[in-house]
Structure 1
Amino acid sequence: MPEPQDHTPRVLDARSLRGLAHPLRMQLLRALRQHGPATASILAERLGESSGATSYHLRQLAEYGFVEDAPEHGRGRERWWRSVHMGVQFDDSLHNHPDPAVRGAADLFLHEVANTHTREVATYLGTTGDWSDEWNRSTDLSDMTLRLTPQLALDLITKMHALVDSYRAKAPDDGDPAAETVRVHTHVFPIQTD
């Protein structure tokens, strides 16, 4: 499966956030990143949507620079799409944007990310019997509670991301039969304790 061309996450700004903050667009982009280039029809079947809806939302994602044509995959009139970036990075200033529509898009985007994480974990838990004992021993669903300042929390996040990024260079070849695609979710947020 070819990976997106740009391995640097795209930092969302107000305009691009408005273009991405739609559940189906986020699903389409995730599907292209996980499975590689596809047509609107392939994506419609994979996501249980109409090809008209996937085609429209793919064009919107292209307008905002998230996807592009993948002509090397096309045969005849089929239009193939691929993701441009490997991921997106949320700019925290969008929480306080003066435009309420942008703040609403930020809220929708972050809730959809959280919903996706929940679905992915639930899917894994429902399929543990499909994985080898070795893979089941190599998974983690931990939670930890710490007492930190905002600066220490940011330091922790930065170090966790750097650690995960360091494993990209260690990735085995596509031909390694023991290798699988894995998802790593991180969540660091304050909670009320009283």
Structure 2
Amino acid sequence: MAENEKTPTAAERRVLDIGALRALSHPLRVQIFDILAQEGPQTASTLAEMLGESSGATSYHLRSLASHDLIREVEGDRSGRERWWERPVGGVVYDSRAVQGSPAGEAALQVAVAEALRRRHEELMEFFTSRIDKETAEWADTSKSMTTGISMTAAQTVELSEKIEALMDEATEKYGNQKGAGVRRVSVRADIFPLKNLTTKKESAS
């Protein structure tokens, strides 16, 4: 499972180790991680205001993320005593092969992936069930949630995934840091995985 943010090109993607996975197993840290990708550099105070938390809590979680190189301090950018933090350029990958054979690593991966997917699902549900009607017609018309089932081999599925990934990388490279009137951050998602084979038992019994 890959999470790609702020990739000006098909940037090198970091496979998360057990320490980084544990850091991303906390709901508030996942929110902070996402906000830094979506909104750009933030301080503990600006994050506290966005999240309704104390600056002490956000500062603690920022340090935890930084200790595993998931975020970094913005060089030469200080506002009084405040430290500004940012996401490094590139994506992260949740890869089961990186922790295979380690019970602690596999447990950390399960929790981190569950938290990332929970937040993704909450954002999707919040938009389509309560926020889309409050958007302008222009932005409401841009929003889609599409699902289909396709019969393909593993090789064909990889080919499709690579094409979608290339399109996303191209758009990120072209528009990733765009600013100006009418520009908003847009979530672009693609979930590709094999469905459970519901016909296996029936076919083997016939």
Q: Give the match for residue 28 of structure 2.
A: 24
Match of 1:33 among 20, 37, 44: 37
Match status 1:165 vs 2:169: yes
CA deviations on 1:52-110 (whole Å, 9 max, x unpaired) are 2221121111111111112544222112211123431222414x611111111111121
Match status 1:174 vs 2:184: no
Q: Give the match for residue 58 of structure 1.
A: 62
Q: Give the match for residue 153 of structure 2.
A: 149
Q: The residue matched to 1:10 in structure 2 has which SS?
A: strand
Residues 5 and 121 (structure 1 numbering): CA distance in 2 closer, same or farther, change over 3 Å?
closer
Q: Give the match for residue 98 of structure 1.
A: 101
Percent of aligned pairs with the same amino acid: 35
CA deviations on 1:146-188 (whole Å, 9 max, x unpaired) are 122332222221111111112224328412x233221011111
CA deviations on 1:109-167 (whole Å, 9 max, x unpaired) are 21122112212212322221332222222221111011223322222211111111122
Question: Under a length normalisation based on structure 2, what TM-score does the superposition of the two structures give?
Answer: 0.80
**Contact 1:6-1:84 at 8 Å conserved across structures:** no
Greater RCO, 1 or 2 (C-alpha within 8 Å, sep 6+): 2
Q: The residue matched to 1:180 in structure 2 has which SS?
A: coil
Q: The residue matched to 2:82 in structure 1 has which SS?
A: coil
* Unpaired runs of at least 5, structure 1: none
* Unpaired runs of at least 5, structure 2: 200-206
**Contact 1:33-1:86 at 8 Å conserved across structures:** no
Mapped partners of 2:42, 2:111: distance in 1: 26
Q: The residue matched to 1:65 in structure 2 has which SS?
A: coil
Aligned length: 190
**Contact 2:41-2:87 at 8 Å conserved across structures:** yes
Question: Under a length normalisation based on structure 1, what TM-score does the superposition of the two structures give?
Answer: 0.84
* Structure 1 stretch displaced more, 135-144 or 18-27: 18-27
Q: Larger C-alpha radius of gyration, 1 or 2?
A: 2
